[in-house]
Chains A and B, each alone.
Chain A
């Protein structure tokens, strides 16, 4: 199971990296891409869009299914990764370097509510049949 210890996670399988300047980089986890299979299309939110926590803001589509990606915390989109849109397979190759979008959190303290690697590991195990 590939769950880097230095990242934060959501129950809907997004990973979040807290950057030095307090902004957040968001992608989907290795486990999520493993479930979805080969990626076909990625749709990112536009920069400048204000998101509520849990709002559907991006779509990842694989050969098996299309799945929504949710905002881990409330905030404003400050960048979207065009590279993963043109090469969705990057997420299959390395889910943690193929980031999707960057977020400026509305409230920096919200980040504390995200799961750490151990909690996410437990969640993944509990979801396995």
Chain B
């Protein structure tokens, strides 16, 4: 039920209205509304109940274990939120003079420096406001670099078949054609295929390490040499940075450009579409092309860099300091952890994933890459179970909801049939992980003895199984406000 369904003509709530002042009489008639906006007419209690009920329907990290692979749904420490909400940060006008915002700008500068340290890159810009925005900035810098050298024959970006779908999309948006290369049976980049793919047309390689298959690319040194020898640059997709935070640095692996998802690795709230933050880090040779704004330390005065400071910049990606509120939360998170804490993030993320993987293997689940140690996530394949019982990974995922667990990522990566991509993160206790294993065992038993039960799940949620095909084919996104609420004049 939408808030509009509660609407009754004339019903209002005014006790929290801001004091009205001034007059609109000097607004030109052409700019004024002809009719009142179609807002719901509800009481304060209607509003409170409506949104409280909605929040109770929310399946979130605050209420449930959320092992959504490749999304790093870790706990968002409340301290990050409360400090970022200090009025000195929150109420600061983005266009106020640098001199009056030194606390905020110093925080941003320090975050830039910490991100440089932890990734081993020569420079960082926090202008991009989402992971995909960061990817776009990264590949745009690769292009700017080749173009600045007059090396314009490089028109191709190589992407392994295990990559996130955003990688080929980004390359295409930046005007490149995409060349896909296969992974071998252990989930690693096939070096022979890479050697065959590179050449004078190669602009770069986009790589996620650890990959979306949950394994570390052990031949990264060879990979970087093959690409660099061919004149290409190396792009690091930071989706899985949580697994190696403070342990291995993309800069040391030879990457030229990286984007980080602060809403994953640095624990800012996400899900439901953001807001995110996708800072980019670059090697020495890409420094001139970084997007603005970024923070400079000008003899002790922090200020935002402009086109004058970086004339070769790929351009301005946000009006002010990126998603400033998200960046502040990430800054507090980084300060709370410190250097040693960042090591622990990677250690416990990896330990939890391997513990869960071992327990599920003991319980009779098939692993997609049983010979490999997990990074921070791993893949279970339910192919055999489906062949025998007809219960699919999707049925399994829906049944997990009944047991109070958010489903892992399903059917990604596409390379593995009937797969669940499971990422527990470092913030979950052993008891939670054991509880999840028990639920998985129970559902497996249900699938083997009463498959129809699992195929009909979920039973305990506000909505039952949705018709995915109808939802995709008959999009119904706009509430017909006009029908129920004739505009008032």
Contact = CB atoms under 8 A, between A and B. Distances in A.
Contact of A63 (B381, B383, B417, B469): B469
Contacts of B468: 38, 40, 63
A128 B469 contact: no
Contacts of A128: 383, 417
A35 interface: yes
A129 B416 CA distance: 7
B368 interface: yes
A129 B368 contact: yes
A38 B468 CA distance: 8
B411 A65 contact: yes
Interface residues of A, number: 13
Interface string A5-49: 000000000000000000000000000000101111100000000
Interface in B435-489: 468-469, 472-473
A40 B411 contact: no
Contacts of B381: 129
Contacts, number: 28
Contacts of A63: 468-469, 472
A38 B368 contact: no
Interface string A112-129: 000000000000000011
Nearest to A34: B417
Interface in B401-434: 411, 414, 416-417
Nearest to A67: B414
A102 to B, nearest CB: 25
A93 interface: no
Given A35-B417, A128-B417, A129-B417, A40 B383 contact: no
Interface string B349-383: 00000000000000000001000000000000101
A40 B416 contact: no
A128 B381 CA distance: 11
> DSSP majority for the B interface?
mixed
A40 B417 contact: no
A76 interface: no
A65 B414 CA distance: 8
Interface in A59-106: 61, 63-65, 89
B383 A38 contact: no
A65 B473 CA distance: 14
Contacts of A35: 414, 417
B414 A38 contact: no
10 contacts: A35-B414, A35-B417, A40-B468, A40-B469, A40-B472, A63-B468, A63-B472, A65-B411, A89-B469, A129-B416
Given A40-B469, A64-B411, A129-B383, 9 more contacts: A35-B414, A35-B417, A37-B411, A38-B469, A39-B469, A63-B469, A128-B383, A129-B381, A129-B416
8 closest Cβ pairs, A-B complex? A63-B468, A40-B472, A64-B411, A38-B469, A40-B473, A40-B469, A65-B414, A129-B381
